[in-house]
Amino acid sequence: MTTSPTPDARPLDLAALSVGDELSRTVHTLDRDALVRYAGASGDFNPIHYNDAVAEQAGLPGVIAHGMLTMGTAITGLLEAVGDPTLLTAYSTRFTGMVPVPATGEVALEVVATVGAIDESAGTARVDLAAVVDGEKVLGRARATLALPRRTQDAEADAAGAA
């Protein structure tokens, strides 16, 4: 699996986020080797993830990527852009499409992460992820919640109140 991150690789300034800001744009490639490695790590050896005949008998277009592999891969660009994965406090999605993986070659998962909402009182930002393969949406309502850094004046007020 390879990843092509947003060209600007410095960590984001989370204190300066606005709704609509694009935080990352990445392209991740998946091939059959990635499916085999994921199956070994996860224990999910369902043959639809490695056997074309079984996948086609199940009504699928061929071998498809594991949903959790797709979900995990989709969030990596945002985590790299943020620079600190511990700021991710929640992540959820719905699996809305399949990711067919060819027997030879690879498939490209394109992901764009955009600020969808900011909750100042909670100190969080909701980031919406759009994940597509060949122009088709494969994750629906993919949302990540990031903890935002406290503003300097808030931290100073708390310190003054504690003194």
Going from N- to C-terminal start, the domains of the chain cover 2-7+19-162
Give me the DSSP letters along 90-112.
EEEEEE-S--B--SSS-EEEEEE
Q: What is the pLDDT of residue 14?
A: 78
pLDDT in tens, the chain (163 residues): 555 554 555 567 778 899 999 999 999 999 999 999 999 999 999 999 999 999 999 999 999 999 999 999 999 999 999 999 999 999 999 999 999 999 999 999 999 999 999 999 999 999 999 999 999 999 999 999 999 987 554 555 555 666 6
pLDDT tens figures, 125-140: 999 999 999 999 999 9
pTM above 0.75, yes or no: yes
Q: What pLDDT was estimated at residue 33?
A: 97
- The pLDDT assigned to 36 comes to 96
Give dist(CA 22, CA 100) in Å, integer: 27
Write out the DSSP string of 29-44.
EE-HHHHHHHHHHH--
What stretches of the chain show up as alpha helix (H) in DSSP? 32-42, 52-57, 67-82, 152-162
CATH architecture type of domain 2-7+19-162:
Roll (3.10)
